[in-house]
Amino acid sequence: MRILLLGPVGVRTAAGAFVAGPPRRQAVLVMLAAQAPHPVAMTALIEGLWGARAPRSAGQSVYTYVAGLRRVLEPVRGRREPPSVLVGGAGGYQLRLDPHRVDSREFTGLVDEARRLGQHDDHPAALSALDRALGLVRGDPLGGVPGPFAEAERRRLQELQLSASELRADALLKTGRADAAIDSLNGLLAHHPLRERLRELLMLSLYQCGRPAEALEVFADGRRVLADELGVDPGTSLRHCHELILRGDPVPGVAGGSTPAKAPGQRGLAATPDSGGLVEAPVGREIAHESAGSQGGRPVTAGEVGPDGADPQGSRDPVPRQLPRALIGFVGRAGELARLTELVAERGHPLVAISGPPGIGKSALALKLAHAVTDRFPDGQLFVNLRGRTPGVPPLTPLEVLGRFLRALGVPGSAVPVDLDEAAAEWRSRMHGRRVLVILDDAAGLDHVRPLLSPPPGTAMIVTSRETLAASDDCAQVRLEGLLPAEASAMLATLAGAERVAADPAQAERLARLCDGLPLALRISGARLADHPSWSVADLVTRLGDERRRLHELQIGDFAVRSALMSSWSALHDSPHRRDRAAARLLSLLGELHFPEITVEFSAALLGSDTAEAAAALCRLADAHLVERGHAERYHLHDLVRLFAAELRPAGAQAAMVRALAFCVASARHASVLVDPHRVQPVIPPVEAEPAALDSPRQGQEWLVAESANLVSAAKQAMSGQDDEIARLGVALAFSLMWFQSMAYHTIDMLECNELALAVTRRLDDPALAQQAHAYVAGALWMANRLGESAGHHEAALDLARRLGDRFGEQRALGNLANLNLISERYSRTLTFARAQLVIARDIGTPVGIRYAQLMIGNALLGLGRPEEAAEPLAEVLAGAMSDGDAYQEGMAHLVLGETCLALGRPERSLSRFDHAAALLGSVANRIGELRNMVGRTCALRELGRLEEAGELAERAAALAAVLKNPRWEARVRVERHAVREALAVSRTVPPAR
């Protein structure tokens, strides 16, 4: 028996090869085979199948998968016969099989053996082992198998296969069979253009076969690709390979140590000073540059130079042609390109800066523009990668750049000034009277390029940078945003194939959103789809959908979104300027506690600083395009930047979270008290934090509305972790938002926050907090019209209050149960609970509780058809609320008294009550009270015959009901609106009285 993993997962026995079954059953086989003959614990199997999101039935599902595998592995085993291949025990399962009977294990062993043989220079034996290993591969490993374990194992095997192919090419080269390696290397390099080892092996193979010009073109193409895609130069090994070919040295380790053969008719090769390339000898009328600065392989004639090199014939007027090739597959940016073309080519604007976040496509756009306007600059084009944000590589200094440009303009190397001011003066003199286009790519910032930013008339300069370059009034700024959905889909179609994208345009649009419209992320996604022909766009969307792995998925070879973001962050983190370091720290802290909208106040709390320092840090992040400016000093993080920030894990992160959460709690509580000082606030642990500077009910309400999404997000994050201190602050924040959420009818937020709070209080074994959490969950369920569930939580709150001896909590729970029964139109039970509440509320002296109980009693009596009796307790509520300035209860008293007047046949008097209620309930943002009041007022207007007014008000009520989504009141609104429409119809058909 053999287990087959290097392709579709299956089992081969004497009877033939069989598919192992459904995908998750295959996933179990993969885990068991990868560890065979060692056992795998049930917990490991569940985690490998589902990760952290295992269903409750996960264990039972594993049993089912194992039973299915046993039928495949031992098809002739009797029903009562114990299994001998896949056996259980010790809390897991074991596949009793020699590891070499698993093709992936055999493959790994053969590759390890080949490495060992190669280290001992036994290349023929290494080649034989690699041929056997690669012969085992039948397709994409673990094809279609789901789960975190399979995904990790698939990536490992894919990387191992690629390494094996590289080792095989190296073995072919060293056994004198370089020609046999070229075709496979070309194919591999087409799929992995950023893998430098593949490129190096192809160069050496071509060189060994007497094709040095092609080898150098492979290097030039690699240098272009690395510069265009990543903004980096080739690595040390690839550069050494390039130099070996330039010198004509033999390839080390090749059988016999022979010098590479020359192709028939091949001429000698010689290096030119400063050019970094090769020319054909003898040097004379034409020089064929093979460097990255050549114009698509066009011969460079006398009077022209290649990159960073003087004219080889010493002409007085060299014409530099240094533009790299424009990016293949460039799409979109039509608006930006049109504006830039107008600035550079038509208006003759001397200086244009293209800025934006890493990976947004600044360099690609600059080169697209440059190639489009070359005819406007007949005296040449200069290009330099300043390496401002290249990891591990120091940026070019202004003096180095000027030296390169001066040599390209014909100044001999020995005559280039070594003083910056002198070099800048010489540069201006040399450029005078010329029409030259200059591209300064990847500037670290304004100081990096300041000495170069005075181009003379006729010269245009394009600078790209991740920083905003506010250089002067003459500098036109073009800031790049993410690609539009249509542009992003077009890019994916170019890279992965139009048919695949057209087959599922909705998933392609979702993929573009997951990539934030970032061209770098889209190019990686397109390349990954091209690398995996069996994947659909939806498959990649599923992979990117897991936020914990998205940055990992957005990587191919050395090409990664994470690396691009890291270089920007590191520049701030390592800066000598305090503001830059504060900005870097703020970004890392924003990864710990994510706010949908970032404000100066929240940032100051995270940093433990004043608002001025926080504002400066945010401004610096915006200049570096790591946060996006919104309105009114509010900022946003793109998802990919947020995920990157979450990986930074800065020191002092917990203290920062405590500060920020404490600020949120203190501010939410302060704002709630300002809005309605008579509401009894939840009992929460004290926090030491200065709240937001708010001074009036209006400011408090506006702050709660503006920051609601931030506060909810912070509360949920805090309660979702395992740190007790932070979780308690999350509970306190959820409780502090309760009154705002209930009045504004933020049902889902209130329910989700308080369900999390209840779970935390249970984990912390804190019955006092649990009692409140039950009450607030019940309130949210009531708002959601889930009355049965709401009752269960109210009863749990009542039980806990009584066990704790909390009389305030007891009377609150009784009042809530009264309200619940009122909604269910169980008016007698409402009276029972409300009267019990009233006894306790009077006993402990809580005016708000007393008035709430009386309000419930008045409502219940009204429901029982006893409006005359209802008026007395409602009048007491009104008097007490007016005396205490309690707008909420005063408004509710007016509302129910208005309904009482209607029940007594006094619609005119009810209108006055409803008008008072509307103003008061609006002042405390009681949306459901406002809706109830609208319904009552509509009824009064209808009964008074003011049908047009009633109709208008009924439509407004319907609109509010649609927003609040309360089924009970939506039904009441429909009934009243229908009554008004019927009355209107009757009035229009009855002739007026004579």
For 929-943, what is each residue's pLDDT tens digit?
999 999 999 999 999
Tell me: do 431 and 509 sit in the same domain.
no
Dist. CA 468–CA 618, nearest whole Å? 14
For 370, the domain range is 319-479
Q: Which residues contact 291 (CB under 8 A, 6 or more apart)?
A: 216, 220, 275, 276, 277, 278, 306, 307
Question: Is residue 155 helix, strand or coil?
Answer: helix
Tokens 């870097």 correspond to 584
CA 680 to chain CA centroid, nearest Å? 40
One domain, residues 357 and 468: yes
Residue 953 pLDDT > 90: yes
Same domain, yes or no: 8 and 157: yes
Residue 126, domain member (yes or no): yes
> 385 with 331, same domain?
yes
- 842 vs 484, which has greater pLDDT? 842
CB 541 within 8 A of CB 527: no
Of 524, 557, 590, which residue constitutes the final position of a domain?
557
Distance between CA atoms of residues 324 and 635, nearest Å: 36
In the block, residue with structure tokens 């609208």? 934
| Residue position matching structure tokens 């990847």 | 442
| pLDDT above 50: residue 277 | no
Find out whether 711 and 664 touch, Cβ atoms under 8 Å. Answer: yes
For position 220, what pLDDT does the model report? 87
Mean pLDDT, residues 324-333: 75
Q: For residues 160 and 106, what is the distance between their CA atoms, to the nearest angstrom?
A: 12
What three-state secondary structure class fits 609?
A: coil
Q: What is the CATH number of the domain that holds 636?
A: 1.10.10.10
Q: What are phi and psi of 435, to 5 degrees?
A: -110, 95
Sign of torsion over alpha carbons 858, 859, 860, 864? positive
What's residue 557's pLDDT? Answer: 58
Average pLDDT over residues 672-696: 86
Rounded mean pLDDT of the chain? 85
User: What is the three-class DSSP state of 79?
Assistant: coil
- Please tell me the distance from the alpha carbon of residue 648 to that of residue 265, in angstroms, as a whole number: 58
pLDDT, tens digit, 9 for 90 and up, residues 390-423 = 655 568 888 888 988 888 888 887 788 888 888 8
Give the orientation angle of helix 767-783 with respect to helix 807-823, to 10 degrees: 20
**Of all residues in the chain, what percent carry a pLDDT higher than 70?**
90
Alpha-carbon 198 to chain mean position:
32
Assigned domain for 463 exists: yes
Range of 139-143, 277-281, 282-286, 474-478 with top mean pLDDT: 139-143
Peptide bond into 378 cis (omega under 30): no
pLDDT at position 323 is 85
Tell me whether residue 806 is in a domain: no
* Cα Rg of the chain, angstroms: 37
Strand partners, 354: 464, 478
Residue 283 confidence (pLDDT) above 70: no
Angle between helices 196-208 and 212-230 (to 10 degrees): 170
Asked whether the beta carbons of 573 and 581 are under 8 A apart, the reply is yes
> Mind giving me the DSSP string for 315-351?
-SS-EEB-PPPPPTT----HHHHHHHHIIIIIS--SE
pLDDT band at 559 (very low <50, low <70, confident <90, very high): low
Q: Report the range of poorest mean pLDDT among 69-83, 373-387, 439-453, 493-507.
A: 69-83
631 vs 629: CA distance, rounded Å? 7
Q: How far apart are the first and last CA of the chain?
A: 104
Mean pLDDT across 205-222: 88
Residue 302's pLDDT band (cuts 50, 70, 90)? very low
Residue range 120-129: mean pLDDT, rounded: 90
Same domain for 386 and 522, yes or no, is no
For residue 184, the model assigns a pLDDT of: 84
Closest alpha carbon to 246 in 297, 283, 290, 209? 290
Residue 298 confidence (pLDDT) above 50: no
Distance of CA 519 to the CA centre of its chain: 14
Phi then psi for residue 79, to 5 deg, are -65, -35
pLDDT digits (tens, 9 = 90+) for 434-453: 899 999 998 888 888 888 88
CB 825 within 8 A of CB 834: no
Neighbours of 257 (CB within 10 A): 9
Contact status, residue 681 vs residue 651, Cβ threshold 8 Å: no
Alpha helices in 362-484 (DSSP H): 362-372, 398-408, 420-431, 446-449
CB atoms within 10 A of CB 807: 16
**Are 472 and 569 found together in one domain?**
no
**Cβ neighbours of 421 (radius 10 Å):** 10
Question: With helix as H, strand as E and coil as C, how does 835-873 read?
Answer: HHHHHHHHHHCCHHHHHHHHHHHHHHHHHCCCHHHHHHH
Closest CA to 189 of 222, 211, 217: 222
Q: 516, 541, 591, 506: which is closest to 361 by C-alpha?
A: 516
The larger pLDDT score, comparing residue 37 to residue 413, is at 37
Residue type, 174: K
Most confident of the following: 247-251, 337-341, 847-851, 961-965: 847-851
Residues 413 and 494 in one domain: no
Residue 463 above 90 pLDDT? Answer: yes
Has residue 614 been placed in a domain?
yes
Half-sphere exposure of 592 (CA within 13 A, CB side): 24
DSSP class per residue in 470-507:
---TTEEEEE--PPPHHHHHHHHHHHH-HHHHHH-HHH
> How many structural domains compose the chain?
5
Confidence of residue 471 (pLDDT cuts 50, 70, 90): low
- Spell out the SS3 assignment of 256-318: HHCCCCCCCCCCCEEECCCCCCEEECCCCCEECCCCCCCCCCCCEECCEECCCCCCCCCCCCC
Distant-in-sequence, close-in-space partners of 959: CB < 8 Å, separation ≥ 6: none
Banded pLDDT at 255 (limits 50, 70, 90): low
> What would the mean pLDDT of 312-321 be, rounded to a whole number?
61
Give the tokens for residue 543. 């992979």
For the ranges 167-176, 338-347, 760-769, 820-829, the lowest mean pLDDT is seen at 338-347
Which pLDDT band, with edges at 50, 70 and 90, does 12 fall under? confident
- String of b and e for 682-707 (b: at least 16 CB within 10 Å)? bebeebebebbebeebeebbebbeeb
Residue 69, token pair as written in the block: 């595998």
Kindly tell me if the per-residue pLDDT of 306 is higher than 80.
Answer: no
Residue 913 belongs to a domain: no
pLDDT in tens, 131-156: 999 999 988 899 889 999 999 999 99
- Measured in degrees and rounded to the nearest 5, phi and psi for residue 555 equal -150, 135
Angle between helices 697-720 and 724-736 (to 10 degrees): 150
Residues 571, 514, single domain; the answer is no
Q: Higher pLDDT residue, 412 or 544?
A: 544
Burial of residue 516 (CB within 10 Å: 0-12, 13-18, 19+) is: buried
Q: Mean per-residue pLDDT for 786-813?
A: 94
Residue 862 above 90 pLDDT? Answer: yes
Domain annotation covers residue 882: no
Going by C-beta distance under 8 Å and a sequence separation of 6 or more, which residues neighbour residue 584?
A: 569, 572, 573, 575
DSSP string covering 711-736: HHHHHHHHHHSS-HHHHHHHHHHHHH
439, 508: one domain: no
CATH number at residue 350: 3.40.50.300
640 shares a domain with 493: no
User: pLDDT band at residue 912, thresholds of 50, 70 and 90?
Assistant: very high
- What residue has token string 């306790």? 840
Asked if the structure places residue 821 within a domain, the reply is: no
Residue 294 confidence (pLDDT): 33
Domain final residue, candidates 132, 149, 167: 167
What are the residues whose beta carbons fall under 8 Å from the beta carbon of 458, sequence distance 6 or more? 348, 433, 434, 435, 436
How many C-beta atoms surround the C-beta of residue 802 within 10 A? 14
Report the alpha-carbon distance of residue 334 to residue 483 in Å, rounded: 11
Supply the DSSP symbol for 102.
Answer: B
The stretch 526-538 carries a mean pLDDT of 82
Going by C-beta distance under 8 Å and a sequence separation of 6 or more, which residues neighbour residue 872? none
Residues 67 and 133 in one domain: yes
Compare 988 and 111 and report the one with higher pLDDT: 111
Q: Which one is predicted more confidently, 440 or 563?
A: 440
Pair 207, 241: CB distance under 8 Å: no
Q: Which amino acid is at 311?
A: D
Contacts of 596 (CB under 8 A, 6+ apart): 636, 709, 710, 713
Among 125-129, 194-198, 611-615, 623-627, name the one with the lowest average pLDDT: 623-627
**CB contact set of 700 (below 8 Å; sequence gap of 6+):** 670, 671, 672, 673, 674, 675, 694
Which tokens sit at 471?
Answer: 């250089």
**DSSP category for residue 15:** T
455 pLDDT band, cuts 50/70/90, is confident
Mean pLDDT of 9-37: 85
Out of 131-135, 302-306, 892-896, pick the least confident. Answer: 302-306
Lowest-confidence region among 313-317, 328-332, 474-478: 313-317
* Cα gap 215→237, rounded to integer Å: 15
Question: Model confidence at 314, in pLDDT bands (50, 70, 90)?
Answer: very low
Strands 92-95 and 40-41 come out as antiparallel
Q: Which of 323-337, 351-365, 632-646, 854-868 is modeled with the greatest confidence?
A: 854-868
Query: Given this model, what pLDDT does residue 268 score?
Result: 37
19 and 125, same domain (yes or no): yes
Does 243 reside within a domain? no
Mean predicted confidence (pLDDT) in 850-871: 95
Q: How far is CA 814 from CA 250, 455, 614, 796, 845, in A?
A: 93, 80, 47, 11, 16
352 and 478 in contact (C-beta within 8 Å)? yes
Domain-terminating residue out of 532, 557, 582: 557
